[in-house]
Copies of this chain bind each other. A is one copy, B any other.
Amino acid sequence: MSDFDPADLRVIAFDIFGTTFDWYSGVSEQVSRIAAEQGVTIDGGRFADDWRGRYIPSMRTVNSGERDWAYLDTLHRESLDDLLELHGVAAAFDEAARRRLVHVWHRLPAWPDAASGLARLRRRYVLAALSNGGFALLTNLVHHSGLPFDCVVSAELARAYKPLPAPYLTAAGLLDVEPGQVLMTAAHAWDLDGARAAGLRTAFVERPLEKGPHGAPDRAEDATSDLAVTGFGELADALGC
């Protein structure tokens, strides 16, 4: 958009799964390891793909009003129970093991450029995590990674999932800024479409490995955004940080 001016921004809001953290590697490795401890073999990469594949459909049932609010850990658990059946390994996972599996999403590796890029961007902007993950999940990801976010804003606070407008507007409202002073940064076209519809500015970050070696992540040409970059360092460059 021709009227985009970084000087108007006050806050950069970061999507988390796939944009800031590598969910594919984190989930596949932890699932494979926990399965081995339970005495069974699971193809962690395929399992991670299948689990993530149920994420958007499960959120839609909440956003459509088909069911009451449920935070992401609950949706992850329901998908997990189904998938363990489908993979034929349900008997190997008791309640405690299933809880451990749900919590693998609370501890993921950050992309290599995240820490240094955020540190640069923080010199000029307030940095918020803005994700459909639950508040505890996001806090745990920040805790384990040590990434220098200023605050966590979860869809849980809005009791609605992105791409509905409520989570984006909740972030702007809590941070006392206009929606147009927030730059939503994400690796997913649908997230940026939702942000733009709520009045936010948008930056697309290309994450070619988001869905693992065989996946088909969104590419810059698929997304409409004010900025398109290949990492958080390039975002800092683009914003003059």
Residues of A within 8 A of B (CB): 73, 122, 126-128, 134-136, 138-140, 142-143, 146, 148, 150-152, 154, 156-157, 174-177
Specify which of B73, B143, B154, B174 is in contact with A150 (CB 8 Å cutoff). B143
**A-B CB proximity, top 7 nearest:** A136-B176, A135-B174, A139-B151, A143-B150, A151-B152, A139-B150, A136-B175
Q: Would A151 and B135 count as touching, CB distance under 8 A?
A: yes
Residue of B nearest to A153 (CB): B135
Distance (whole angstroms) from the CB of A221 to the closest CB of chain B: 35
Given the contacts A136-B174, A136-B175, A175-B136, A150 and B142 also touching, CB distance less than 8 Å: yes
Residue of B nearest to A139 (CB): B151
A135 CB contacts on chain B under 8 angstroms: 151, 174-175
Interface centre among A73, A122, A128, A176 (most CB of B within 10 A): A176
A138 CB contacts on chain B under 8 angstroms: 151
A136 CB contacts on chain B under 8 angstroms: 174-177
> What would 13 more interface pairs be, CB under 8 Å, given A135-B175, A151-B151?
A127-B143, A128-B139, A134-B176, A135-B151, A136-B175, A136-B176, A136-B177, A138-B151, A139-B150, A139-B175, A143-B150, A150-B152, A151-B152
